[in-house]
């Protein structure tokens, strides 16, 4: 950890690693409000891994052992798709049984036999659509081919079949299959590529996330806290401000239920002060005199001086906040544009209607409104969730 005196000016600690707290009766329920898991730590720098496992003391294997991937198994809960009357003539909820074959499942879908056959082909094909080409040549083609084009021309999906999968890439990219390269779709586990015999070797133009997923090793497990990566942000705060929580310097297990005392974060005597609810809008260099940082808080503007400033935010934001950047750099920093991608979390007081319907997840094609209707993080030892008459009888 850095040994320094500093003031962190921010809207809230955690950034995208936030958490949601729900109080249902006397029960506290936690959910991620941003990033979910510790993703592919084998690809991290040694400094980043040491920060997580040594400085913060997170035991990844022990953390993974708290995740119950089979939490729904005792209840045989299914995923389901709601075909609406506006598009399909009548409202119809179609569920897929846990071990049901695709050939059986598609017979329940409100579409033609040709559309159903195409969806089965999508999920089961082992055909090599590029015979005689090398791995690199296949990837070169896939990198230049939208996934939708691949689905139509190689798999044979028509409009109805495509309607059920066209937004399957939304959760990762925020755009439909027509704006994602087929190569990236393959690398992130989208269906339809099993017969191509592709290797994990990278290719020109590959996206960062696809490449990271291809680099996964056996050490990259299912690592996440009940509230997602907010636990890591809270651990960092506990190191920077030792009195920030009711448990002094909580470990990775204790941080989940530790209560933050926000009044301690910006005390004058702290070596590190965290100033929340503050939006920085101007940062300027003053040569040997350091920098000035101007921010707003509660409707008023303030300016502070410092020896230096670290812009720990999205680089595009820095291009607006730091006016002295070269024009060429500003243009480059603004090239990337964020896609609005909204995940909403709500707490349900009664789980039993979903258990009766044996449904845990419902999506509506186009799957822009996919929802985990009865989703509880499959936790065990570290979960602060409690059970009750209206809660699933799963062990906390």
Q: Would the pLDDT of 387 be above 50?
A: no
Contact 178, 146 (CB under 8 A): yes
d(CA 278, CA 223): 32
In this structure, the number of other CB atoms found within 10 A of the CB of residue 74 comes to 10
State pLDDT tens for residues 312-344. Answer: 888 899 999 999 999 999 999 999 888 888 888
pLDDT score for 378: 39
State pLDDT tens for residues 345-359. Answer: 888 888 888 888 899
Question: Could you give phi then psi for residue 172, rounded to 5 degrees?
Answer: -100, -40
State pLDDT tens for residues 128-181. Answer: 999 999 999 999 999 999 999 999 999 999 999 999 999 999 888 989 999 999
- 7 DSSP β-pair partners: 273
Residue 259, classified by CB atoms within 10 Å of its CB into exposed (0-12), middle (13-18) or buried (19+), is exposed
């Amino acid at each position: 950890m850095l040994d320094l005196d500093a003031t962190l000016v921010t809207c809230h600690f955690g950034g995208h690693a936030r958490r949601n707290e729900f109080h249902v009766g006397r029960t506290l329920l936690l959910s991620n409000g941003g990033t979910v898991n510790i993703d592919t730590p084998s690809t991290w720098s040694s400094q980043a891994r040491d920060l997580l496992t040594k400085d913060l003391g997170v035991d990844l294997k022990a953390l993974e052992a708290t995740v119950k991937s089979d939490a729904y198994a005792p209840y045989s809960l299914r995923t389901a798709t709601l075909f609406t009357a506006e598009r399909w003539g009548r409202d119809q909820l179609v569920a897929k049984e846990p071990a049901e074959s695709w050939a059986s499942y598609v017979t329940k879908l409100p579409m033609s036999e040709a559309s159903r056959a195409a969806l089965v082909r999508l999920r089961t094909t082992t055909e090599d659509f590029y015979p005689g080409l090398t791995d690199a040549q296949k990837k070169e083609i896939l990198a230049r081919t939208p996934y939708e084009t691949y689905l139509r021309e190689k798999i044979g999906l028509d409009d109805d079949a495509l309607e059920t999968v066209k937004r399957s890439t939304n959760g990762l990219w925020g755009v439909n299959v027509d704006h994602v390269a087929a190569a990236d779709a393959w690398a992130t586990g989208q269906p339809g590529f099993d017969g191509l015999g592709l290797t994990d070797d990278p290719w020109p133009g590959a996206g960062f996330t696809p490449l990271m997923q291809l680099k996964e090793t056996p050490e990259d497990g299912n690592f996440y806290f009940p509230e997602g990566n907010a636990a890591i942000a809270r651990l960092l705060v506990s190191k920077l401000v030792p009195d920030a929580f009711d448990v002094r310097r909580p470990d990775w297990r204790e941080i989940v239920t530790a209560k933050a005392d926000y009044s301690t974060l910006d005390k004058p005597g702290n070596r590190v002060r965290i100033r929340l609810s503050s939006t920085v809008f101007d940062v300027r260099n003053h040569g040997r005199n350091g920098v000035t940082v101007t921010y707003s808080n509660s409707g008023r503007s303030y300016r502070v001086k410092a020896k230096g400033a670290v812009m720990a935010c999205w680089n595009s934001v820095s291009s607006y906040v730091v006016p002295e950047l070269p024009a060429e750099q500003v243009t480059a920093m603004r090239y990337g544009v964020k896609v609005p991608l909204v995940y909403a979390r709500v707490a349900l007081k009664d789980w039993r209607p979903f258990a009766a319907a044996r449904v845990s997840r419902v999506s509506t094609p186009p799957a822009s409104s996919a929802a985990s209707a009865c989703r509880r993080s499959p936790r065990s030892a570290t979960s602060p969730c409690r059970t009750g008459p209206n809660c699933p009888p799963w062990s906390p």
